[in-house]
């Protein structure tokens, strides 16, 4: 598996999305910007990648796949450092321009972000250039209802954001916010992706991969389990979103977990609407799940993440 020389994937962890850098002569384009807590590191990683390119290049443009905090969190810092133009998916411009922290899920999920100003939007089904190649912006609702994926038919490369990972896809937030079209939209997105000619996938998280058919089959299998029992969507979301928040916090007192879960509107809503635990049982269930998967450890009364942020 070899990407074109003009593409450099800066692979991150789970707190920050991957950054996909396209070299375009004296300029460059970046897709996605990571989480705000990693913003200084993101700026340095991009500076280093640009400097390593023979002749150097400046960052002229930053394009986002969707509006979640782990993809737009570095926008403001990158804009300040490089003066780059920011291009966002059409449909999220109002929430970005007004910095609607509720619509951006920052308040609901108790996550962080820095306000930024966008310069343009990219419409679904439009074509644009990156790295001297033509890409199509395709609508990919499900994980985020306004999300886009970017496909280069000539090179058979897909930048999938959180619509497809090597082992699944991102939290289906719409389903958890009461939207009845989110699960069908996720299925339609996977079916659309399956019709594309793809040899290499650059996901929002994890390494680029070329086992496209197998990854798609795994994603459909996960979706089928969610369609059969929607409470699985809620349980998966709480596990994943709490792990994300813990990576940001770095630690949380075990005794404080019930109150913390109650204080996060997203967690409390999912529990009230879908799971039905008492506050104490909710915390106990979550601890058990994350200990079983080895996503956390408990040391001296502190809940600690086991994975790198």
pLDDT in tens, 218-275: 999 999 999 999 999 999 999 999 999 999 999 999 999 999 999 999 999 999 999 9
> pLDDT value at position 214?
98
Can you tell me the mean pLDDT for 9-13?
Answer: 96
pTM of the entire predicted model: 0.95
What is the percent of the chain where pLDDT is above 90?
Answer: 93
Length of the chain (residues): 309
Q: Please determine, for residue 55, whether its predicted confidence score (pLDDT) is greater than 80.
A: no
> pLDDT value at position 53?
83
What does pLDDT average to over the chain? 96
Q: What is the C-alpha to C-alpha distance for residues 125 and 47, in angstroms, rounded to an integer?
A: 31
Q: Please determine, for residue 309, whether its predicted confidence score (pLDDT) is greater than 90.
A: no
Q: Are 230 and 274 in contact (CB under 8 A)?
A: yes
| 284 Rama sector, left if φ>0, alpha if ψ -120 to 50, beta otherwise | alpha
Can you tell me the mean pLDDT for 183-200?
Answer: 98
φ and ψ at residue 236, rounded to 5 degrees: -60, -40
DSSP character for 298?
E
> pLDDT value at position 179?
86
Can you tell me the mean pLDDT for 17-22?
Answer: 98
Can you tell me the mean pLDDT for 24-28?
Answer: 92
Q: Please determine, for residue 190, whether its predicted confidence score (pLDDT) is greater than 80.
A: yes
Question: Which token pair is 76?
Answer: 């403001």
DSSP string, 192-206: HHHTS--SEEEESSS
> pLDDT value at position 307?
86
Block residue for tokens 């899920």 = 105
Can you tell me the mean pLDDT for 117-143?
Answer: 98
Q: Please determine, for residue 292, whether its predicted confidence score (pLDDT) is greater than 80.
A: yes
Question: Which token pair is 262?
Answer: 């109650």
Q: Please determine, for residue 54, whether its predicted confidence score (pLDDT) is greater than 70.
A: no
Q: Where are the alpha helices (DSSP H) in the chain?
A: 39-52, 69-72, 75-82, 93-97, 106-109, 173-176, 182-194, 212-228, 231-249, 257-263, 265-270, 279-292
Nearest CA to 186 out of 208, 162, 205 is that of: 162
Q: Please determine, for residue 308, whether its predicted confidence score (pLDDT) is greater than 80.
A: no
């Amino acid at each position: 598996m070899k990407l074109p020389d003009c593409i450099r994937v800066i692979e991150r962890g789970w707190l920050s999305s991957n950054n996909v850098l396209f070299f375009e002569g004296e300029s460059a384009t970046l897709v996605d910007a990571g989480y705000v807590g990693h913003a200084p590191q993101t700026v340095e990683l991009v500076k280093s990648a640009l400097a390593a390119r023979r002749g150097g290049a400046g960052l002229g443009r930053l394009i986002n796949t969707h509006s979640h905090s782990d993809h737009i969190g570095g926008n403001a810092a990158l804009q300040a450092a490089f003066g780059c133009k920011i291009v966002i998916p059409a449909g999220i411009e109002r929430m970005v321009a007004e910095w609607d922290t509720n619509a951006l899920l920052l308040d609901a999920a108790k996550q962080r972000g820095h306000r930024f100003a966008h310069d343009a939007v990219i419409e679904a089904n439009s074509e644009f250039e990156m790295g001297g190649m033509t890409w199509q912006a395709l609508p990919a609702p499900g994980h985020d209802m306004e999300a886009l994926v970017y496909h280069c038919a000539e090179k058979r490369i897909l930048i999938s954001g959180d619509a497809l990972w090597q082992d699944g896809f991102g939290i289906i937030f719409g389903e958890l916010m009461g939207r009845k079209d989110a699960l069908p939209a996720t299925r339609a997105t996977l079916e659309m992706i399956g019709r594309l000619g793809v040899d290499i996938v650059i996901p929002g998280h994890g390494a680029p991969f070329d086992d496209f058919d197998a990854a798609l089959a795994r994603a459909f299998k996960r979706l089928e389990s969610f369609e059969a029992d929607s409470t699985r969507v809620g349980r998966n979301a709480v596990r994943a979103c709490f792990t994300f928040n813990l990576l940001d916090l770095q630690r949380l007192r075990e005794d404080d977990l019930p109150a913390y879960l109650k204080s996060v509107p997203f967690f409390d809503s999912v529990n009230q609407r879908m799971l039905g635990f008492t506050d104490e049982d909710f915390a106990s269930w979550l601890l058990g799940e994350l200990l079983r998967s080895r996503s956390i450890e408990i040391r001296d009364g502190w809940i600690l993440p086991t994975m790198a942020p």
